[in-house]
Amino acid sequence: MVTKKGSKKVGLSLIIFSIILMTAMVVYAAISGVNFITPVTNDQISDTHDIQWNNNESNLNMGLQYRVDNCNDTGTWNNISNDIGSSTSGSYLWNTSGLSGDYCLRIYDNVANKEYSGIFTIDNVDPTADFANEPYTCTEGGWVIINASTSSDPETSIANYAWDTDGDGFDDGSGTPDFLNYTCGNGDNVTTVSVQVTDEAGNTNTGNTTVNISNVAPVCIGITTSINNAVEGQDVTFTENATDIIDSLTYSWDFNDSNSSTGNPVTHSYDTAGTYTVGVNVSDGD
């Protein structure tokens, strides 16, 4: 007898649950003949957006609403317009300022308990430009990777990176690569590299970083002379074949007889016989 009573209780619970489930399903069934032309599901919109729809069902008195969720939750609907008419197509200019992130948008008919909804992203907030791996250093004539991969956008993603390496505008590379292979100029020098990031909606932000370029000293190859053994008063031409990656070089000569000179090559003659060691100081100015 006890077991029988228990069975009746379970059966009653299932009936109540079924009624609740049916009630939830009845509220706002889909409007089969209504759909958004824009935004379509997963669109990204910003600023004042022109919402457009088709309506192939008759006798609807439609409204337009949004809420913060993925269309499956139970958030509070916010009215955009209580009455968007019942014609076969329509549009509404919706000012989305102040909204950011994922939203559910729906066209509904309160009388028929029907709706058509879609998820979309409102992208009104500027992205943030940022650099990884700072600080950047390199030697003159070398290169370094400028990495802007830590740039971000709270709503969508970075759609474009535009670069400026010379202060005259973002015309030194663009596209989806989030890094720049930067060729370093003359050191010692600190130069600025800028990036402008753009999100999916066209909002932009710029950031600056610096590259500390260090100088590379010139390399002396060795002095050559026009003649190995000269007599007193005979001109001898001295040449230093020095190199530098970028800089122009200056030459300062010491002929070891109390005379000096600048330039390259240089010519000198000795008044007194002897053996002389000739030195040259090569400078790149840095």
Residue from 168, 222, 258, 274 in contact with Ca ion (CB under 5 A) = 168
Of the candidate spans 10-18, 86-94, 158-166, 265-273, the one that interacts with Ca ion by CB under 5 A turns out to be 158-166
Residue closer to Ca ion (CB basis): 39 or 63:
39
Residue placing its CB nearer to Ca ion in the complex, 153 or 240: 153
264 binds Ca ion (CB under 5 A): no
Instruction: For the chain, give the DSSP string.
Output: -HHHHHHHHHHHHHHHHHHHHHHHHHTTEE-TTEEEEESPTT-EE-SEEEEEEEE--SS--EEEEEESS-SSS----EEEES----SSEEEEEEE-TT--EEEEEEEEETTTTEEEEEEEEE--S--B---BSPSEEEETT-EEEEE-TT-B-SSS-EEEEEEESSSS-S-S-EES-SEEEEEP-SSSEEEEEEEEEEETTS-EEEEEEEEEEEP---B---EEES-SS--TT--EEEEE--B-SS---EEEEE-SSS-EEESSSEEE--SS-S----EEEEE---
Measured from the CB atom, the residue of 134 and 166 that comes closer to Ca ion is 166
- Judged by CB under 5 A, the number of residues near Ca ion is 20
286 binds Ca ion (CB under 5 A): yes
- Least separation in angstroms between residue 83's CB and Ca ion is 32
Indicate whether 109 belongs to the interface with Ca ion (CB under 5 A): no
Determine if 199 is a binding residue for Ca ion (CB under 5 A). Answer: yes
Q: Does 125 bind Ca ion (CB under 5 A)?
A: yes
The distance of closest approach from Cβ of residue 170 to Ca ion in the complex, given in angstroms and rounded to an integer, is: 6
Q: Please pick, from the candidates 153, 209, 213, 270, the single residue that binds Ca ion as defined by CB under 5 A.
A: 153
Quote the least distance from Cβ 187 to Ca ion, whole Å: 5
The residue (of 123 and 240) whose beta carbon lies closer to Ca ion is: 123
Using rule CB under 5 A, residue 171 touches Ca ion: yes
> For the chain, first and last CA: distance in Å?
104
In whole angstroms, the minimum distance from the beta carbon of 189 to Ca ion comes to 7
- Told to check if 115 binds Ca ion by CB under 5 A, we report no
Chosen residue from 44, 205, 215, 264 binding Ca ion by CB under 5 A: 215
Alpha carbons 283 and 219: distance in angstroms, whole number:
10
Nearer CB in complex with Ca ion: 107/193: 193
* Residue from 44, 96, 147, 186 binding Ca ion (CB under 5 A): 186
The smaller minimum CB distance to Ca ion, of residues 230 and 246, is found at 246
Q: Which of 50, 134, 166, 235 binds Ca ion (CB under 5 A)?
A: 166
HEC string for 52-103:
EEEECCCCCCEEEEEECCCCCCCCCCEEEECCCCCCCEEEEEEECCCCCEEE
98 binds Ca ion (CB under 5 A): no
What is the binding site for Ca ion (CB under 5 A)?
Answer: 123, 125, 153, 155, 164, 166, 168-169, 171-172, 186-187, 199, 203, 215-216, 244, 247, 284, 286
